[in-house]
Amino acid sequence: MWFKKRSIISYVLLALFLYISMKLTEFDLSKFRDFRNMIDFLSHWFPMDFSLLPRILKDSLETLAMAFLGSFFSLLIGLPLSFLAAKNTARSPFVYHLTRVGLSFVRSIPEIVFGLILLTALGLGPFPAVLAIMFHNIGVLGKLISELIEASDPGPQEAMKAVGAKSWFASLFSILPQIWPNVLSNYFYRFEVAIRTSLILGFIGGGGIGQRLFNDFKTFHYTAVSLDVLVIMIIVILVDFFGSYVRNRVI
């Protein structure tokens, strides 16, 4: 009743893809024979070197600032663009397709590539990292929010047209209240992702705790690495809590 003969092909294909992917990634659980090496390595991480805590906190603050600025600017720019990239609010098919293509374009470029390009002009430091996060997230938030707009109830928009409001204003005023809680949760998710991204950008000289982590790693300063990782985990969890708090207040 539920399983049709035809779907056997799908299962065979799925199994094939799994097999090929495992081959390509050298996926082999027997490699865990050397598990002890990892335990041994991790044991060098402790005890944590708390004397570095003030400097680590300062760098974390820089990371938070990078992630916040980058993601906030991307929301600021992505939100208006998303209205142009949604079928039900786009002024013309041309604008719609142009915005869609533009958003996919910036989204398809990873932050680290933006970072590497911007480094050549702006030099090392957190500023190019902020811009890299911003560009990529404009693409991501623009797409996500445009999909929220497309899924919104058209009724209120029609009502706002019927009272004689300008059409751009009718769309904005009727759709924004509907999607606002979801916009916020998308935003906070991207903020959280941006924190992790800014770590990677730290590896290429973007500053913040990412750069510290990278340097500590490269200089075999493992007792500092463990504290870096702990602080990063705490930051991500705090941002997550803060995000759900704000979202609950808004709903």
Partner 1 sequence: MIEIRKITVLYPGMKENALNSINLTLQNDDFICILGKSGAGKSTLIRCLNGLQTPTSGEVIWDGLSLSSLNEEQLRKVRREMGMIFQHFNLVPRLTVLQNVLTGMFGYRSSFKNLMGWFTAGEMDQAKQVIQEVGLIDFMDRRVEHLSGGQKQRVGIARALLQQPRVLLGDEPVASLDPGTSDRIFNLLQEMHLKHNLQTVINVHDVQLAKRYATRIVALKDGEIVFDGKPDEFTDEMYVYTYDSFGYSRMPYTVTT
Q: Single out the residue of 218, 231, 193, 195 nearest to residue 53, CA to CA.
A: 231
CB of 183 to partner 1, least distance (A): 12
Using CA atoms, how far residue 55 sits from 52, 58, 129, 196, in Å, is: 6, 5, 20, 19
Q: Using CB under 8 A as the criterion, what x/- string covers residues 176-195 for binding partner 1?
A: -xx-x---------------
- H-run or E-run covering 153: none
The tokens describing 229, both together, are 């990782």
**154: cis peptide before it, omega within 30°?**
no
230 vs 228: CA distance, rounded Å:
5
Choose the binding region for partner 1 from 33-41, 164-172, 202-210, 224-232 (rule: CB under 8 A): 164-172
Choose the binding region for partner 1 from 30-38, 78-86, 165-173, 194-202 (rule: CB under 8 A): 165-173
- Nearest to partner 1 of 171, 197 (CB atom): 171
Q: Is 145 in the site for partner 1 (CB under 8 A)?
A: no
Choose the binding region for partner 1 from 47-55, 83-91, 119-127, 174-182 (rule: CB under 8 A): 174-182
Q: Is 158 in the site for partner 1 (CB under 8 A)?
A: yes
- Per DSSP, the three-state class of 2 is coil
Among residues 107, 161, 196, 247, the one that binds partner 1 under rule CB under 8 A:
161
The tokens describing 171, both together, are 């769309």
**8 Å CB contact between 138 and 78:** yes
**Identity of the amino acid at 82:** S
Among residues 106, 172, 201, 225, the one that binds partner 1 under rule CB under 8 A:
172
Choose the binding region for partner 1 from 53-61, 149-157, 193-201, 241-249 (rule: CB under 8 A): 149-157
Q: Is 93 in the site for partner 1 (CB under 8 A)?
A: no
Among residues 15, 57, 166, 241, the one that binds partner 1 under rule CB under 8 A:
166
**8 Å CB contact between 225 and 43:** no
114 vs 201: CA distance, rounded Å:
10
CB of 158 to partner 1, least distance (A): 6
Q: Is 159 in the site for partner 1 (CB under 8 A)?
A: yes
Residues that bind partner 1 (CB under 8 A): 153, 155-156, 158-169, 172-174, 177-178, 180
